[in-house]
Structure 1
Amino acid sequence: MSPVADRLSLPEFCSRGRLLAAVAAGQVVMLTIALAPTRAPRWDFTEFASASALATWIAIASAVALCKLRPWLSRLPTRVDFAAATAVPTLVALLGAGALNYIAASLGQFVLDAEMNRHFVLTTAGLTGLIAAIALRYFAAQDRWRAQVQAVSQAQMEALQARIRPHFLFNSMNSIAALVRRDPAAAERAVEDLSELFRAALGAPGQRGTLADEIHLAQRFLGIEQLRLGSRLQVNWNAAPGLPMDLPLPRLVLQPLLENAVVHGIARLKEGGEIRIDLSVVEGLLRIDVGNPRPVGVDPRPGNGHALESIRQRLRHQFGDGARMSSEAAEGYYRVRLELPLGAAA
């Protein structure tokens, strides 16, 4: 990895989560100081509340300042950027503690000599700078780790897509080749259907579609197979009302399931059979069932484990652990079920 790639970039503070983390870090430090065993008298509630309020103000002001200054700080040379970013909360604490002393003295709350004032201000600024340096390094490492995890997940998803593309495209081409001499008009229609599948399969890596797109592509694929298999292939779509047709989905999730149903089920039966596709919404989940007859006494997953694993990983990449995929094999029948959370598409 190059030095530039290995460099820790400044963390992002323009988010609610990061702001709350900064405030929480300040409160943990205050609580630690308050509970630390020392010879000095323990803080009472008023003193702790005052210190906690000051820490909260410094944390919020520092996070806002770093959020606004991040574009400028990011243009600085390596290491200088972190030094400058650490100086921002230190300066905020210096000004805040000095202002607090001035306001309190003006209101007659307490009067400290110059030496104690200077000690309070410098101690507050120094402690803030130390905490800021640690927090900046931690948050930067956390951001880089998340970026690496996302990059690895994206690369895995793209590799799975690249492996699945030739699989169904070559099968479709074979179907069209079988039609060229027997039924040129049908072959022409199949080429048009295949062009839709090419556009979806060869699109940008990680490109998403919607449930409506997936249904459309699946119908195109089944159109090609029906031209090849004729009356041996029957299709039964059962779509419940109110389906989230605009739900984002990875491209080509439904089509491989139908291809498995055709190749490992219908095509291996002399009399053919019916593929049943049920789509419904159950308890906040989009449920997709694909069922098909299969030869009796034959392993329900000969050669189709790769397609199922690809779909499982791509759905997990988009929906997280909320996406579920299961299969059920009965005597002479096979069904795959997808369950996707409607509110978790990222």
Structure 2
Amino acid sequence: MNRSHRDRDDTRVPLPDLCSVQGLFALVLVAGITITVMQLAPGVRPGWRAFSVGMLFAVWLSIVLAASVCILRPWFERLPAALPYLAVWSWMLLMTLLLSALIGWIDHALRLGLTRQSTLAFSVVNGTLVALIAAALLRYFYVLMQWRARLAAVSRAQVQALQARIRPHFLFNSMNTVAALVRVDPGAAERTVEDLADLFRAALASDSEGTLGEELDLVDRYLDIEQRRLGDRLRVQRDIVDPPIDFTLPRLLLQPLVENAVRHGIQPSREGGTVRIAVDADEHEVRIAIDNSVPREPVTTLDEDGHGHGLHSVRERIAYHYGERGRLQVEDADGRYAVRVILPRGAA
């Protein structure tokens, strides 16, 4: 596959997942609203029988359309450019016409009296409604999926930027630490090299997600290296009891926050300070707090360009992976700078 073909594939907008509860609920909700509006329209004689029959048919049609699109989705997605959405719209229209004609024929053949129109008129009305509603819904899904695809690309680019920025910054300080320890403490120098290798292995990993246990181990290795460099100036307190180590979260989410705490909270201070890391969880969410003492001298925070990895970047990655249920809170008071990450369980 050549490069231009890969680029075209990467820019394609994926189809919405109508197999999901959210996708099916959206279709059923729109169908229900449409039937309700039609019953309340001027000139229409309202009646519970007509409303219930119309609602039953609309819900049934929505489920059948969603199931058929879900089954044929792999085939639709093989089409180039924006043709998958046009194919889905055409399929919904065709299915509506065929199913309406079938229901109309059965109703008139058995004389059930469910439809007051002829089979042709019943099919045309339903086809027109579905054509308009499906066009609006698919346009909405197209814009939504396009936004998600762009946000995913931004998230991947931010991870790549984090991976690129950790290398030169970290390498310089760590090599100086190793050089200083080689003669005085060869064992500590060897452990520093091992920790550094693990950090770079994690930073260069191709996977976009890891586990909380892996992230905490990465943080520990980073702090071990910085403690050998800063000595007693860096003090670490951990309040981590029985953490959900298998909890999935974006890779390199916590290490930049801890690095910021050391670089801008501990390193500029002659007397040093304390970095606290706390993790607690319940059945609904995982809460991670990272705070550091603030030196008396003015320091630059993560949000400013050129310093740290950016709270804005971390906040965007949380928003992409967890939506509104994921939060990042910042508090600067009482001589401490605290960042709290709140992630929902079962939503990554």
TMscore range, shorter length = 0.7 to 0.9
Does the CA-based 8 Å contact 1:275-1:293 persist in structure 2?
Answer: no
Does the CA-based 8 Å contact 1:207-1:250 persist in structure 2?
Answer: yes
Equivalent in the alignment of 2:98: 95
1:52-201 correspondence to structure 2 within 5 Å: 52-76=55-79, 84-110=87-113, 116-201=118-203
Equivalent in the alignment of 2:330: 326
Shift of 1:199: 0.9
**1:15 counterpart = 2:20:** yes
Q: Which amino acid aligns with 2:152?
A: Q
Q: Which amino acid aligns with 2:126?
A: T
Cα distance in structure 2, aligned partners of 1:129 and 1:336: 53
Does the CA-based 8 Å contact 1:73-1:85 persist in structure 2?
Answer: yes
Q: Deviations over 1:207-249 (max 9, x none)?
A: 333332233223323332333344554444333x332222333
TM-score, normalised with respect to structure 1: 0.78
Equivalent in the alignment of 1:24: 29
Cα distance in structure 2, aligned partners of 1:226 and 1:44: 77
Q: Deviations over 1:170-199 (max 9, x none)?
A: 222222222234433332221112111111
Does the CA-based 8 Å contact 1:168-1:259 persist in structure 2?
Answer: no
Shift of 1:77: 6.1
Identify unmatched segments of 5+ residues in structure 2: none
Does the CA-based 8 Å contact 2:16-2:23 persist in structure 1?
Answer: no
Q: Deviations over 1:20-47 (max 9, x none)?
A: 2222232333333333334xx5242212
Q: Which moved more, 1:128-137 or 1:73-82?
A: 73-82
TM-score, normalised with respect to structure 2: 0.77
Percentage of identical aligned residues:
39
Equivalent in the alignment of 1:288: 289
Change (3 A) 1:340 1:75: closer
Cα distance in structure 2, aligned partners of 1:3 and 1:214: 34
Alignment match of 2:47 (pick from 39, 44, 49): 44
Q: Which moved more, 1:87-96 or 1:45-54?
A: 87-96
Cα distance in structure 2, aligned partners of 1:80 and 1:222: 51
Q: Which amino acid aligns with 1:217?
A: L
Which one has the largest radius of gyration?
1
Change (3 A) 1:176 1:94: same
Cα distance in structure 2, aligned partners of 1:139 and 1:232: 53
Cα distance in structure 2, aligned partners of 1:55 and 1:279: 48
Count matched residues: 337
Shift of 1:254: 4.2
Identify unmatched segments of 5+ residues in structure 1: none
Change (3 A) 1:17 1:182: same
Coordinate RMSD, CA, aligned: 3.7
Equivalent in the alignment of 1:209: 210
Q: Deviations over 1:48-90 (max 9, x none)?
A: 3222222222222122112112222334566765554334333
